[in-house]
Structure 1
């Protein structure tokens, strides 16, 4: 077994363990951390397949932005695990049904979806052009040409969906909530001292409450 095969098995074992812990960890923070580990191992497998662009994109986009955002959101929400577990068995049949459907679809794709396809050839670092000259091969350049030529419309549809999701997230965040304690800066600037401080006239001396009660009883007698 060469070093490349060893690294593949190492990344694959850690990836499977991390993915299993994502759905079995009781602490949401631990689940997010295991998901970060799973993405990092997937990026390593992409590097072994010479898909450097996909590996770097997975690290920068998911590990550097999305998963860090998930981690901060989970830590700031203060999720009560006991309250979340109350409806586990209530929703278990639906979750089991969805899991069975996903497993069946993946099995169908893996068993029948790749039949009749040729084995992919290894991507060389140097290719020969029409003139017979050896030129360096760029995986990222080839992927970019493929995305913006043959798959142009799917890329545009995905971009529109992401734009709509971003606008919807901003709209949901900026909605007026009743329990919000936000203060308008314009109201703070227009405030006057009389609106903040109220002067009340009180006598200079007043007997303490403990002495005032017996004196009031004596007056009544």
Structure 2
């Protein structure tokens, strides 16, 4: 009921009750009614706002998959943890990177960025293999070039995870580690051996790159 309609009702009640003695004036009764009506309106609006806020909060909390990977940088070093890999600097200056077996060939851009943040210069590609202008192209049976064993050491754990130990202090000046992962077709051709190529390449010279995968390594 609008205030105008209420005023009309008040006049009608006043006329009809002229001969009746009331302890509480009609005006006071109507005023209290209006106050209660305003209170109900405010309470209803607040309830709607609260419900909307709770709905938004539940929606946000129920979708943790959108949370970014954990990145922590402090005086103790760099620690990057994702579903596919972890990268952690150690007190001895080395950088430890651990890969999940099922995600070994995923998120190379993220891995490259994480290793660089940890102080290890690296260039990672898939299906493409690069070398420096003075590199003779020779690789070990496992796909490693000259000098790689001084800056990188790999250990495969029993659970299928691979831990690489990178050694920035052994990296020559103006040099970075190139890692070229074989793509799906290349991996099938070499029966997963090797799975990647690692070379030390210059950072101040143009690299020579192609898509020629290394030959299959057969264990004897």
- TM-score (normalised: structure 2): 0.20
Q: Which structure shows the bigger proportion of residues in helix conformation?
A: 1
Whichever structure has more strand as a proportion of its residues is: 2
* Larger RCO, structure (CA 8 Å, separation 6 or more): 2
| TM-score, normalisation: structure 1 | 0.20
